[in-house]
Amino acid sequence: MSSSTTAAKNDAVAYEINVAKTANQLIDHVVSGSRFAFETNLVWKATVKPCSWYNDVVSLVETSGQVERVNQTKAWKQVTSSPPRSFSALSTSSVPQEEALVRHVVGHSAKDDLVVCVDAFASNCNRAFQQWWCHADGNTRQDLLKDLQALNQQDDRRLEQPTLLDFNDSGDDIPDESSLIRFLARTPLYTTQVATRTELRALLREFRLSLDLSTSTFRQWWLTGLHPREKEVQTRLQALGILSGDGTLKDPFRWNLLALFAQSERVETNSQVVADPVDRASDMVEAYEEDVARTAASFIHCINTLGRGHIGVPCD
């Protein structure tokens, strides 16, 4: 591994640590007793940071569920009322076989009894979910049912059959595109909660942290460029038909689950196609080795049967 590659990976790790540390410092400053916290110092620090740094810090603060903006200004105050589940808390929830569950629910009419629908999924050989569902407490069950109910009451345009566009796994659009699509599809309940640009940044941070630095270039790519990278990701997801809207209060993001699942299936198919030539080559090598061993055994048998003077005589 070259020194420049190692340095780039170290920078990617240091970046995420610094983003989390800065966000936590601002949150702690507000929660510990300060009436307000202002972003003046944050803006100043951003002048010597990567373009995405400021937005990433702010997204962590906004989605923490602990503080909120003061009348849409650059000042922050502690959340005084009982907040809904924070975006960060939702991201850490774990529903086994979530993708398969959502596919099952989306495939049924919104008029179907949701509890019956989920119970049917649990009993249909989905053992991991079945065990989780049986042992989950009442609040956890209710939270899941609420999320599924909201999903089933979406505008029909979100669930319309998509026109498939080719995704690009070569990195010409965004690096690790196939990994991003699979990440979004694996946790559709979490993904479809993303309605604002701030939440999209938080989601993309979860994706970055899930990547293996030894094989992925997305995290290094995120630190480069003259503009924050989330806009490029947003544009690409919109081009694929997965995402619509602008991420604002007037025009929040809307997710097309059928398009997301279709692109995810295409990723899986393409991965298998790429793997097939390798598998065929492996089969050829194995067949060759077996043929060599069989021929050698036959040759030795000839020697033992006919004697050394008949080595040139074929046995077959």
Closest alpha carbon to 201 in 160, 161, 242, 232: 232
Closest alpha carbon to 103 in 76, 86, 126: 126
Q: Are 155 and 68 in contact (CB under 8 A)?
A: no
pLDDT of 315 reads 53
Q: Are 205 and 301 in contact (CB under 8 A)?
A: no
pLDDT of 169 reads 44
pLDDT in tens, the chain (316 residues): 567 778 888 899 999 999 999 999 999 988 887 666 777 888 899 999 999 999 999 999 988 888 888 877 778 888 877 655 555 555 546 788 899 999 888 877 655 688 888 988 988 877 889 999 998 888 888 888 888 888 777 644 455 555 555 555 444 479 999 999 999 999 898 899 899 999 999 999 999 999 998 888 999 999 988 889 999 999 999 999 999 999 998 999 999 998 999 999 998 888 776 544 545 555 666 766 776 677 766 666 666 665 555 545 555 5
pLDDT of 206 reads 93
pLDDT of 179 reads 94
148's tokens = 């599924």
CA distance 255 to 111: 21
Side chain identity at residue 6, one-letter code: T
- pLDDT per residue as tens digits for the range 155-178: 444 555 555 555 554 444 799 999
Considering the entire predicted model, what is its pTM?
A: 0.76
Closest alpha carbon to 180 in 199, 204, 200, 196: 204
Residues in a beta bridge with 75: 38
DSSP state of 309: G
One DSSP character per residue, 134-165 reads HH--HHHHHHHHHHHHHHHTS-GGGGSPP---
CA distance 257 to 97: 16
Domains observed in the chain = 2-78 (1.10.10), 98-156 (no CATH)
